[in-house]
Amino acid sequence: MIAGKLQSQPSQLFSPKGAILTLSILTLISFSYFSFKSLGPPLPLSPSTPQLTLLPTTSSAADTVPSHAHVVSNEKENNVDEGGGDDEDGDLFTDVYHSPKLFKLNFEEMERKFKIYIYPDGDPKTFYQTPRKLTGKYASEGYFFQNIRESRFRTDDPDQAHLFFIPISCHKMRGKGTSYENMTIIVQNYLDGLIAKYPYWNRTLGADHFFVTCHDVGVRATKGVPFLVKNAIRVVCSPSYDVGFIPHKDVALPQVLQPFALPAGGNDVENRTTLGFWAGHRNSKIRVILARVWENDTELDISNNRISRATGHLVYQKRFYRTKFCICPGGSQVNSARITDSIHYGCVPAILSNYYDLPFNDILNWRKFAVVLRENDVYNLKQILKNISQEEFVTLHKNLVKVQKHFQWNSPPIKYDAFHMVIYELWLRHHVIKY
């Protein structure tokens, strides 16, 4: 009897167990089936792009078929009539993106859902809430502060928020002549206040918080709060690894010197007769070498001294219109407004840098519209640029014109501009943390 009972138990236990096992295998199979089916051929996403977050959108069969068909028909249109077509997103489906379809789908989901809470604390007359100005080298910081308030992404309800914005302006601190030590103290006190008053920081030690700074003093200013650097998302113009920039967590903010003095360049290949151009301060090793090696060259127009932007008749800017490749060596930081100047004026940037997590690198394929080189390539620079055929140059130039909109700030912001691209990068990162 006892033996019989014991014997029957395993089989009784086994069948529900077996059912659960079968069920979970089936679930797994159908889940992977849908995931593979919806993702299609492996898409070249960088490690910082969370692929799984796309599943809810793309694996719903109803959505996938029509939008896929839409995508294909757009691609065809685009091949026939480049740059034409009346679909405002038509030119999205080009190879300047790593994954144009995912970008479009995810971008639309972001527009519908993304909500950001801005901490209301801090006197706007000091270092908080409002930008210093919307012009000059650090304009990107000012535009972000202004744009977020003008945008649909702002929410006044912290419970609706995916991310929390700490609105502290490092550029403004610098403008008021605050010492570095005091900056660190100011940021620390402000944040301690927020941490004590609101429950949001403590939930993830700041992982769903971000701050935005274009001025490189942001690095020093945030030293006093280790978790602000370690755990929160830093949106910075100077994404140098030597100041602790973490590519999959932090966001490279494009440094854009707005307003531009002259209109955007494009479709003006025939006027681009100079091979390469650079004029600037020799404030980094790579710039010193660049000037020393090429200063007397007849094909590379390398000026030993900076041409003041204020010099009569916009001499500096006009050179961008006449050049094929604008040389962009890093200065005191890896970034430089010269890159976005080049993009604006239709001059293909030739970037000389050993490490630079270029803005929107995980969305845009920089090699389709720029020449990305290592610093050591400076010695072969002329041969490298001469080796690029006219045909390849024309392709780079055309692609450059397609990405111009991503490197431009507007007020109010418009779809696919620099603000929306930064917001999109934040949207990708919010999937990584979920409270």
Ligand X SMILES: *[C@@H]1O[C@H](CO)[C@@H](O)[C@H](O)[C@H]1NC(C)=O
Instruction: Kindly list the residues in this chain that would bind ligand X in the complex (CB under 6 A).
Output: 178-179, 182, 195-196, 198-199, 202, 268, 271, 292, 295-296, 380, 383-384, 387
Beta bridge partners of 323: 274
CB of 32 to ligand X, least distance (A): 41
Alpha-helix residue ranges (DSSP H) falling in 163-209: 170-175, 180-197, 200-204
Q: Which C-beta is closer to ligand X: that of 71 or that of 269?
A: 269
As measured in angstroms, the least distance from the Cβ of 407 to ligand X is 20
Chain CA centroid to CA 213, Å = 14
**φ, ψ dihedrals at 216, nearest 5°:** -70, -10
Minimum gap (Å) between residue 206 Cβ and ligand X? 11
Cβ closest to ligand X, residue 12 vs residue 298: 298
Minimum CB separation of residue 182 from ligand X in Å reads: 4
**Torsion angle of alpha carbons 289, 293, 297, 302, nearest 10°?**
10
Closer by beta carbon to ligand X, 305 or else 380: 380
- Minimum gap (Å) between residue 419 Cβ and ligand X: 29
Between CA 181 and CA 179 the distance in angstroms is: 5
Question: What does 44-85 look like in DSSP terms, one character per residue?
Answer: ---TTS-SGGGHHHHTSHHHHHHHHHHHHHHHHHHHHSTT--
Min CB(157)–ligand X separation in Å: 18
190-198 contacts, C-beta under 8 A, 24 or more apart: 190/121, 190/122, 190/127, 190/128, 190/166, 191/166, 191/225, 191/228, 193/121, 194/119, 194/121, 194/166, 197/121, 198/119, 198/158
Q: Which residues are within 8 A (CB) of 155 and not within 5 positions of it... i.e. 6 or more apart?
A: 115, 116, 117, 161
Q: Which is nearer to ligand X, 135 or 202 (CB)?
A: 202
CB closer to ligand X, 133 vs 292: 292
Q: Which is nearer to ligand X, 7 or 273 (CB)?
A: 273
**Cα 410 to Cα 182: distance, rounded to the nearest angstrom:** 33
Q: Cβ closer to ligand X: 20 or 264?
A: 264
Give the other-Cβ count within 10 Å of 266's Cβ: 16
CB of 173 to ligand X, least distance (A): 9
Q: What is the CA 312 to chain-centroid distance, rounded?
A: 34
For ligand X, give the closer residue by CB, 11 or 273. 273
Nearest to 290 by CA among 319, 318, 330, 255: 330
Written as one letter, the residue type at 89 is D
How many residues are given for the chain? 435
Smaller CB separation from ligand X, 183 or 235: 183
The nearer residue to ligand X, 248 or 282, going by C-beta atoms, is 282
Place of tokens 């167990």: 17
Residue 380 beta carbon to ligand X: minimum distance, rounded to whole angstroms: 4
Least distance from C-beta 296 to ligand X, angstroms? 4
- Least separation in angstroms between residue 385's CB and ligand X is 9
Residue 340 near residue 256, CB atoms below 8 Å: yes
Going from the C-alpha of 218 to that of each of 197, 273, 353, 354, the distances in angstroms are 24, 40, 22, 22
Q: Which is nearer to ligand X, 195 or 433 (CB)?
A: 195
CB of residue 145 to ligand X, shortest distance in Å? 22
Find, among 190, 205, 203, the residue nearest to 121 by Cα.
Answer: 190
